[in-house]
Amino acid sequence: MRYRLTCLTPMLVGDGRKLSPIDYMVWKDQVNVLDQRRIFRLLAKGPRLEGYLMQLKKADKLDFASWGGFAQNFADRRLPFESPAYSAFWNRATGESLHIPTFAAGAMGPYLPGAAVKGALRTGMLFAALKPLVLQELAMRSKGDRPSRRPAETAEEQNLGGMRLIGVGDSAPVGYGSFKVYLLRTSTLQPRGTGSYALGWKQSPRGTADGRRPEDSTPTFAEMAVPGASFEGDWMEREFFSQPEIRRALRLSEPLDRAQIFGAVNDFAAALLASHREYATRANLDLLSRQLGELEGRVAAARGSGACVLSMGWGGGLLGKSAWIDTDNQDYRQVLRSLSLYQDTLRSGLPFPKTRRVVFTNNQPSTLPGWALLEVQ
């Protein structure tokens, strides 16, 4: 069997690599990724190599006046910005925002790792399996003198044995024509009286810009697959795990099939979208709220066609990875309080989580990254 995953919003499934600002040059509203090996071979024939290496060592960006010809003649690939307006934002940006995370790629080109697809399916299944009683038990364990660094690991192992039923292979490579460089900004909520909040945009290393002036915030640039891009790969269903004795060993009360897995994933997607939409309404992000409503419609359509909608990849935030949506639940908060990363945030009394990474299209806060439709053929 084969699967097809179609991007519904811009999506980045990376392998941890980033383009540093000396690996590319921006020219004609596109990112020109330099073939450094060819450049080194060329410069080694003359006296300019030392000057080039010195700039690579010291500069935040390559000086276009001196080396702009490389962007024209020695580009390994060219990725357009989603909007021409982003060249100006890039020119003003500094520091970490100039490092562009890239899509997973091999020698034959970019591809979708099968592990990313299966990880998103596992999150949806865990969402269906996690009951309040399980969370209460995790909260009790977190109150000890030495709380676990992975508090939900046992619960995951006990509830996801049936996921051995399926296998997902890496997709076939696709062309770079399905990718663009998108601009993203991180939204946040600022308190404005009791129970009232205003939109803000995060600045780096600290600070918040006014919600009406997102251009004053710190941008992030990322290489992402465009909506409509599709990836295809092998899909396996192992009937061995449907045998009664195997199900008993895995503590499965009933046979698990693809329809049940996809149903759980769609339930998770619907709950996650409802939470994001509530956030967008609270932050007065009208365009984002409408787009989330359209995604909710895609979830309903997927239920009827035997497909499912996934949240996956980079930028999805804590909710997209944690399989628990009700962040006001006291047992859930007790588990998080045992982790130093979240202690200060929870003490603030603000809605949790108070931030979202938002994709800008046509220079407007339009959508959230990483939503896709999965179909098995």
| Domain-located, residue 346 | yes
- The whole-number average pLDDT for the span 168-186 is 96
* Domain housing 134: 2-15+111-178+228-376
- The whole-number average pLDDT for the span 201-216 is 93
Tokens of 110: 């970019």
Tokens of 124: 């949806």
pLDDT of residue 73: 85
Helices (H), the chain: 36-43, 49-58, 64-73, 86-92, 114-129, 132-141, 153-159, 244-249, 258-282, 286-305, 319-322, 330-337, 340-347
Q: Which residues contact 44 (CB under 8 A, 6 or more apart)?
A: none
| Domain-located, residue 215 | no
CA 174 to chain CA centroid, Å, is: 19
Q: How many domains does the chain have?
A: 1
| Domain-located, residue 35 | no
Bridge partners for 231 per DSSP:
5
16: left (phi over 0), alpha (psi -120 to 50) or beta: left
Pairwise pLDDT comparison (242 vs 350), residue with the higher score: 350
Bridge partners for 199 per DSSP:
189
| Domain-located, residue 72 | no
| Alpha-carbon dihedral sign for residues 264, 268, 271, 274 | negative
323: confidence class by pLDDT, cuts 50, 70, 90: confident
pLDDT of residue 56: 82
Any idea what DSSP says for residue 129? H
Any idea what DSSP says for residue 231? E
Q: CA-CA distance, 240 to 243, in Å (whole number)?
A: 6
At 292-321, the pLDDT tens digits run 999 999 999 999 999 999 999 999 999 998
At 335-369, the pLDDT tens digits run 888 888 888 888 888 889 999 999 999 999 999 99
Can you give the pTM of this predicted structure? 0.90
pLDDT of residue 238: 79
| Domain-located, residue 66 | no
Q: CA-CA distance, 330 to 144, in Å (whole number)?
A: 17
Burial of 262 (0-12, 13-18, 19+ CB in 10 A): buried
Burial of 234 (0-12, 13-18, 19+ CB in 10 A): middle
| Domain-located, residue 40 | no
